[in-house]
Amino acid sequence: MALVELEQRGHVGLITINRPEVLNALNVQALRELDDILDRVESDEEIYVLIITGAGRAFVAGADIGEMVDFTAADAKTFSRRGNNVLLRMTRFPRPIIAAINGYALGGGCELAMSCDIRIGSEHAKFGMPEVGLGITPGFGGTQRLARIVGMSTATELVLTGRTIDAQEALQIGLINHLYPAGEMLDRAFELAQIIASKAQVAVRQVKQAIRIGTQIDMSSALAFESEAFGLCFSTEDQKDSMQAFLNKEQLSGYKNR
């Protein structure tokens, strides 16, 4: 049975981590399947936006402790690199990705969520980086991305203490953008995804890359990247059609995404 599943609804792809019996803990096979699904989505021009969630009561309760317990140092480094490669791919993936966090997002689960472009949570979501309690460091980007999202001081405290926080606190520190009742959260994720999917996709993808790349480099290089992206949009039919429709006071019937 697949540990990671892809379902398509219109232009939105829903990825579900599906190991509910171990609270969707990420093992090598799940990481491999996630990577394979990203391959499928990348070659499918009909999927504009991705949502990622977990089956059952957890989003992802971390990397698979049962698999890691007997790792050698070399095994652990390879596992960390494998996870980091997949999660880095998500940050660079040419579609926006929304994390719909339905329950525990601990360790690797929090790191998976942090690799998405937008995070929303249900009232049952819980977040934390418990690794130091297991005698390890975060290994899928947690020492790097948490500080970039919530600030160095809050991130350092959370990673050093391993404290679990609830969805309300995650909202307060900016780890999630929105908090919804459990029964509504996935619908809200689809609403958000559909809004993004209804826009001009060349522009959407350029925005993601500009934000992602721009926040990693110096401001003048980042602004040069933004100017490139802005210029590129002016070679699309969508820019011409949209601006002309505005000037003609007409309603655009839809984007061509080219």
Q: Which of 13, 62, 121, 142 binds ligand COA (CB under 6 A)?
A: 62
What is the contact mask toward ligand COA in residues 130 to 159, using x (rule: CB under 6 A)? Answer: xx--x-------------------------
In the complex, the smallest distance separating the C-beta of residue 143 from ligand COA, rounded to whole angstroms, is 13
CA distance 61 to 58: 6
In the complex, the smallest distance separating the C-beta of residue 96 from ligand COA, rounded to whole angstroms, is 27
Q: Is 47 helix (H, G, I), strand (E, B) or coil?
A: coil
Task: Please tell me whether residue 107 binds ligand COA under the rule CB under 6 A.
Answer: yes
Residues 6+ away with beta carbon under 8 Å from 131:
107, 137, 138, 139, 142, 159, 162
What is the contact mask toward ligand COA in residues 219 to 248, using x (rule: CB under 6 A)? Answer: ------------------------------
Q: Which of 3, 30, 90, 106 binds ligand COA (CB under 6 A)?
A: 106
- Annotated active-site residue 46? The verdict is no
**Greatest CA separation for the chain:** 67
Residues 6+ away with beta carbon under 8 Å from 53:
14, 15, 16, 17, 59, 99, 100, 101, 102, 186, 189
CA distance 67 to 17: 17
Catalytic residue among 7, 42, 111, 169: 111
Task: Please tell me whether residue 61 binds ligand COA under the rule CB under 6 A.
Answer: yes
Give the closest residue to 148 by CA, choosing from 102, 179, 117, 189. 117
CA distance 150 to 156: 10
Catalytic residue among 7, 21, 67, 131: 131
Q: Which of 38, 49, 50, 63 binds ligand COA (CB under 6 A)?
A: 63
Considering only the stretches 62-70, 173-181, 229-237, 240-248, report the one whose residues sit in contact with ligand COA under the rule CB under 6 A. 62-70
Q: How many residues are listed for the chain in this entry?
A: 258
- Annotated active-site residue 45? The verdict is no
Task: Please tell me whether residue 116 binds ligand COA under the rule CB under 6 A.
Answer: no
In the complex, the smallest distance separating the C-beta of residue 21 from ligand COA, rounded to whole angstroms, is 7
CA distance 120 to 162: 21
End-to-end CA distance of the chain: 38
Would you tell me which residues interact with ligand COA (CB under 6 A)?
22-23, 25, 61-66, 104, 106-107, 130-131, 134
Q: Which residues are catalytic?
A: 111, 131
